[in-house]
Amino acid sequence: MSIRNFAVGAACALALGVSAFAPAVLAQDKPIKIRIQSVIPTSADEVTMLKDFAADVAALTNNTVTMEVLPAGAVVAVNDTLDAVDKGLIEGGFAWTHYWSGKHPAATLFGAPAAGSGVGLDNLAWLAWFQYGGGKELYDELWKEMKVNVKGFILQPVGPEALGWFKNPIKDMADFRKLRFRTPPGIPGQIYRDIGVASVAMGGGDILPALEKGVIDAAEWCCPKPDMVFGFQKVLKHYYLEGLHQNVVNADMYLNGDVWKRMSSHQQKAMEVAANAALMKAHSYRISENGKALKELTEKHGVQIHATPDAYFKEYGEAAKKAFEKHASENPFFKKVWDSQRNFADVAIPFWARAQKANAGLTGAYAASLEKK
């Protein structure tokens, strides 16, 4: 036999061996069913992406790991979702990390680091820190700090979010301060209170009824597509896209730690691979879907887009930095995470700011040309 024929034969044998071995490995994986209770209705746009993640996990595990998404309140109250996962009442939960900032303030630095954590992190720069600046390891530490038996997966970086929806245009911060404004819970909402805005925290399902009843005057949720799915355009017509309270915002899934430990190494790796894929898919999905939704909101529903008052950025940004400094002085783990973000930003942001300036000029010029048509 020639060397060439031997090499070809060996390669074929190896390929057959691997393909024969792979099903055997999968066959040893025990079936695991994960019920994920969301903090929002299953009709929400975020759940569409969550189900896409579940489909990827099922495909990568040969359907040995399957997920069922339950609506908010299906098993426990929304505010009890994380505790229910910790105790094993449900296998999984889905929310935004900052929903649990009452358990630990550092949750905000992962879920909604207002004003870019005060160090210039936009959504992509934050993701770079998470994947290559030590953020993922600190995220795993967060659950230990909270003392919950949970394995977390950040799945959906969905910022930057809009400032919000208003009944009437706001000319300046004085107008803004006259309103009762639905905000996210935790530190982002507290920062609004710090600058004199009447911040009201409430779950997603309560926002539209509260607007209709006059309990609140204005509200934020996310961005054009999720906002349109929620139906804000039916109640309010004045939309402000530029905001700082969640220029970075991340939705994540929580898996009971015992369920995670029962998974094989292959199943665990499949979860991690699918989660990494979900990060980029979420960015791509948001750009595509938000563009289509904004066009529909303005052309079919009479929504008017306004520029956010300039004073907002200075006031909110300065208040955010003060809030982070306060929490860092009071909590060692918060300081550890914030220091990590600042150290990463000191190196990455000088480059990224210049690159983004070119991007903004490119996209801004084209957007302006469309407005002239």
For 165-215, write each residue's pLDDT tens digit: 999 999 999 999 999 999 987 888 999 999 999 999 887 778 999 999 999
Q: Where are the domains of the chain?
A: 28-158+249-287, 164-244+303-347
What CATH code would you report for 164-244+303-347?
3.40.190.10
**Nearest one of 24, 34, 81, 25 to 57, comparing CA atoms:** 34
What percentage of the chain exceeds 70 in pLDDT? 92
The answer to whether 219 and 182 are in contact (CB under 8 A) is: yes
Give pLDDT tens digits for 25-46. Answer: 555 899 999 999 999 889 888 9
Give pLDDT tens digits for 282-331. Answer: 999 999 999 999 999 999 999 999 999 999 999 999 999 999 999 999 99
Render the burial of 350-360: b for 16+ CB within 10 Å, e for the rest. eebeeeeeeee
Mean pLDDT of the chain: 90
Question: Which structure tokens are listed for 291?
Answer: 């563009």
pTM flag (> 0.95):
no
Residue 26: predicted pLDDT = 54
At 271, the pLDDT band (50, 70, 90 cuts) reads very high
DSSP conformation letters of 103-145: T-TTHHHHH--GGGGGTT--HHHHHHHHHHSSHHHHHHHHHHH
CA gap 156, 276 in Å, rounded: 10
Give pLDDT tens digits for 93-133. Answer: 999 999 999 899 999 999 999 999 999 999 999 999 999 99
CA gap 220, 208 in Å, rounded: 11
User: At the topology level of CATH, where does 28-158+249-287 sit?
Assistant: D-Maltodextrin-Binding Protein; domain 2 (3.40.190)
User: Is there a common fold for 28-158+249-287 and 164-244+303-347?
Assistant: yes
Q: Is 255 helix (H, G, I), strand (E, B) or coil?
A: strand
Residue 2: is its pLDDT beyond 50?
no
Contacts of 349 (CB under 8 A, 6+ apart): 119, 120, 121, 125
Greater model confidence, 44 or 336: 336
Q: What residue has token string 């770079």?
A: 128
What is the average per-residue pLDDT within 68-92? Answer: 96
What is the average per-residue pLDDT within 5-9? Answer: 39
